[in-house]
Amino acid sequence: MQDAFYFGGASRSLFGVLHEPLGAADGGVVVVCAPLWREGIRAHRVLRQLGVRLAKLGHAVLRFDYSGAGDSAGESEHGNVDVWLEDVALALDEVRRRKPEARMTLLGLRFGATLAALAAARQDDVERLVLWEPVVNGAHYLDAGAAEHRTWRERYAVWRRLRLAELCDSGDEILGFQVTEAMRRSIAAVDLSQLSLASRSLLIVERSAPDATGGLAFTLASRGARVDHQVKAEAEVWKQQEDDSVAGARETLQLVAGWLAGGAS
Amino acid sequence: MWFGATKSLSGILTEPERPQTDRPAVLLLNAGLLHRVGPNRLHVVLARRLAEAGLPVLRFDYSGLGESDVRRDEVPIEQSAVAEGLEAMEFLETSGVAERFVPMGICSGAENAQRLAHEDERVVGAVLIDGYAYRTGGYHLREYARHVLSPRSWRRLLSRPLALRSVLGQGRAAMAPAPAERNPGGLDYERPFPPRETCLKEMTQILARDVELFLIFTGGGMAEYYNHPRQLAEMFPSLAGHPRLRHEFMKRADHTFTLRSHQEEVMASIGAWVDAAL
**Nearest-CB residue to B177 (from A15, A159, A162):** A159
The CA distance from A223 to A214, in Å, is 13
Q: Is the pLDDT of residue B245 over 60?
A: yes
Contact B259 A168 (CB under 8 A): yes
The CA distance from A16 to B12, in Å, is 12
pLDDT single digits (tens) B101-155: 999 999 999 999 999 999 999 999 999 999 999 999 999 999 888 877 766 666 7
Quick one: pLDDT at residue B269? 98
Q: Is the pLDDT of residue B181 over 70?
A: no
What residue type is assigned to position A20 of the chain?
A: E
The CA distance from B136 to B229, in Å, is 12
Whether the pTM exceeds 0.80: the reply is yes
Per-residue pLDDT band for A265 (boundaries 50, 70, 90) equals very low
Residue ranges of domains in chain A: 2-137+191-263, 143-189
Choose, out of A42, A66, A152, A241, the residue to mutate when testing the contact with B (most B CBs < 10 Å): A241
How far apart are the CA of A185 and the nearest CA of chain B, in angstroms? Answer: 21
Per-residue pLDDT band for A63 (boundaries 50, 70, 90) equals very high
Quick one: pLDDT at residue B179? 46
Q: Does domain A2-137+191-263 have CATH number 3.40.50.1820?
A: yes
pLDDT single digits (tens) A105-130: 999 999 999 999 999 999 989 999 99
Higher pLDDT residue, B178 or B190?
B190
Least confident of A28-32, A34-38, A63-67, A247-251: A247-251
**Nearest-CB residue to A70 (from B37, B189, B223):** B37
What are the C-alpha distances in Å from A50 to residues A62, A103, A133, B9, B38? 11, 18, 15, 19, 21
**Nearest-CB residue to A71 (from B12, B219, B220):** B12
Q: DSSP string covering A120-135, please?
A: HHH-TTEEEEEEES--
How far apart are the CA of A250 and the nearest CA of chain B, in angstroms? Answer: 18
Interval A191-216 mean pLDDT: 90
Q: Is the pLDDT of residue B20 over 90?
A: no
Interval B165-191 mean pLDDT: 57
Give the residue from B221, B225, B243 showing the smallest Cα distance to B234: B225
Q: Enumerate domains of chain B plus CATH numbers.
A: 2-134+193-277 (3.40.50.1820), 140-181 (no CATH)
Per-residue pLDDT band for B180 (boundaries 50, 70, 90) equals very low
The CA distance from B155 to B100, in Å, is 55
Give the residue from B14, B108, B41 showing the smallest Cα distance to A42: B41
Q: Is residue A78 less than 8 Å (CB to CB) from chain B? A: no
What residue type is assigned to position A141 of the chain?
A: Y
Q: DSSP string covering chain A, please?
A: -EEEEEES-TTT-EEEEEEPPPSS----EEEEEPPSHHHHHHTHHHHHHHHHHHHHTT-EEEEE--TTSTTSSS-GGG--HHHHHHHHHHHHHHHHHHSTT--EEEEEETHHHHHHHHHHHH-TTEEEEEEES---BHHHHHHHHHHHHHHHHHHHHHHHT--GGGS---SSEETTEE--HHHHHHHHT-BGGG---TT-EEEEEESS---TT-HHHHHHHHTT-EEEEEE-----TTT-SSS-HHHHTHHHHHHHHHIIIII--
Q: Is residue B41 less than 8 Å (CB to CB) from chain A? A: yes
Choose, out of A41, A67, A77, the residue to mutate when testing the contact with B (most B CBs < 10 Å): A41
C-alpha atoms less than 13 angstroms from C-alpha of B216 in its C-beta half-sphere: 29
Quick one: pLDDT at residue B176? 52
Q: Is residue A175 less than 8 Å (CB to CB) from chain B? A: yes
**Nearest-CB residue to A159 (from B39, B181, B256):** B181
Quick one: pLDDT at residue A244? 63
What residue type is assigned to position B146 of the chain?
A: R
**What residues of chain A lie within 8 A of the CB of B150, using their CB?**
161
**Nearest-CB residue to A156 (from B67, B150, B185):** B185
How far apart are the CA of B205 and the nearest CA of chain A, in angstroms? Answer: 32
Chain B residue with minimal CA distance to A150?
B259
Q: DSSP string covering B115-131, please?
A: HHHHH-TTB-EEEEES-
Q: What is the mean pLDDT of chain A?
A: 92
